[in-house]
Amino acid sequence: MTNTPFKIGIVGCAGRMGRMLVQEVLATPGAVLSGGTEPAGPLVGTDIGLLVGAKTIGVPVGSDAAQLFAACDAVIDFTVPAATLYHASLAAKTGKVLVIGTTGLGADVLAAIETAAKSAPLVYAPNFSIGVNVLFALTEKLSSTLGPDYDIDILEMHHRHKVDAPSGTALGLGEAAARGRKVKLADVARRTRDGQVGARAQGEIGFATLRGGDVVGDHTVIFAADGERVELTHKASSRGVFAKGAVRAALWARGRKAGLYSMRDVLGL
C-alpha cells in the first residue's frame, strides 16, 4: 500500500454531515482534504477549514463537482438523491472512488449506482456507523435462527428535520431480516398500520417511524413470539460515527477494482 496521502473530497461540505466529514478527514492519518463543494451561493470561496472552526487550510469551497472529482482520489456524498445521481455519473466517468451515504434513493438512482460501479469502486450503505452495520449482521442472523414464529417490527426515530421515512437504516434492517428468511422485503413489508387493519399476517416485517427533537438516530429490531421478545437496539448520539465510518470506507476502497461494495465488505462481516 502506498504511503501517499489519499485525497478525499466532500460534496455538500457545508451541511451538517458535510462538516462532520470535513472534521473527520482532517483528523484521519493518511487522508487529506483536497476539496469540497456547495451549490452556488455565499459559501462558495470560503476556506473549508473555517466551516468547522479550524484554521484555514488553503482549500476553498467550490461549486463544480466535476472539478472536485478530477482533483480527488475519492469523493464522499451525503447529499440528496438528485445530486447523488449526478455524482454517480462522474464517478463512472473518472473511475474515482465514491462513498454514498445519501438516503431516500429511488429505483432510478440505485440503478445508476449499479451502472457506475461497473466503471469505478463505489461503497454504498444506508448507514456508515460501525455499530449499525454489526446490527445489520445480527438482524440477519437472528431472523434466520428464530424463524417465522417470531414477528418482526423495526422502530426508528430521528430528528424533526429528516425528510424521508422509514429511514434508510430501517429499510436496511428490513432487508437484513428478509435475507435471513430468504424472502424479498417488498413481498413482506408493512410500512403503515392505521385503523381497522385486522390481524397481523405471518411473515410480515413491519416498520414504525417517529420524528421529533434532535434525535440523531435510534433503531430497534423487535422479534416477538408467544412468551418472549428479543430486541436489538442501536442509538447514535453524534453524526460523527457516520463520518468516521464513511472515511474508513473511502480509505478501504483505495486501489479496489470497480464494483459495488457495502460496509459489510469494509468491515469483513
Residues serving a catalytic function are 158, 162
CB 169 within 8 A of CB 232: no
Going by C-alpha positions, the residue among 70, 59, 101 that lies closest to residue 83 is 101
Helix ranges (H only) for 40-80 are 48-51, 65-71
Name the DSSP class of 5. Answer: P
Question: What nine digits make up the cell of 171?
Answer: 429499510
**Strands 217-225, 228-236: parallel, antiparallel or unpaired by DSSP?**
antiparallel
Q: Which residue has the cell 473555517?
A: 50
Q: Which residues contact 10 (CB under 8 A, 6 or more apart)?
A: 18, 21, 22, 25, 33, 35, 36, 37, 75, 76
Q: Which residues contact 173 (CB under 8 A, 6 or more apart)?
A: 135, 136, 139, 154, 219, 221
In whole angstroms, give the CA distance from residue 102 to residue 207: 20
CB 17 within 8 A of CB 239: yes
In whole angstroms, give the CA distance from residue 10 to residue 178: 33
